[in-house]
Amino acid sequence: MSQNKWEYKIVNHHNSTTMGYSNPETEEFKEKNKDKDWKLEMRNIAINKLGQEGWEISGINGNDEIYLKRKI
């Protein structure tokens, strides 16, 4: 039986800076998405990017922390 090895990551999506956006990038994003919930849109983009890097959501703590894992 093979054993999988995992690496883990906790991502805080409290605000745009913790999602990797600078203040100018955030303001531009807000302007382009002013008719939507821009924070939710930004959070979805960040989560999808992590998914493309192989990360899987393993848990969520409220609205701010997302626990991720991926095989190594």
Residue 1 lies in a domain: no
pLDDT of residue 12: 85
Residue 64 belongs to a domain: yes
Domain, as residue range, for 13: 6-71
Question: What pLDDT shows up at residue 1?
Answer: 65
How many domains does the chain fold into?
1
pLDDT tens sequence for the chain (72 residues): 678 899 999 888 877 777 778 888 888 988 998 899 888 888 888 889 999 999 999 998 876 889 999 999
pLDDT of residue 5: 94
Buried b (16+ CB within 10 A) or exposed e, 6-38: eeeeebebeebeebebeeeebeebeeeeeeeeb
CA dihedral 53, 55, 61, 62 (to 10 degrees): 40
pTM, entire model: 0.76
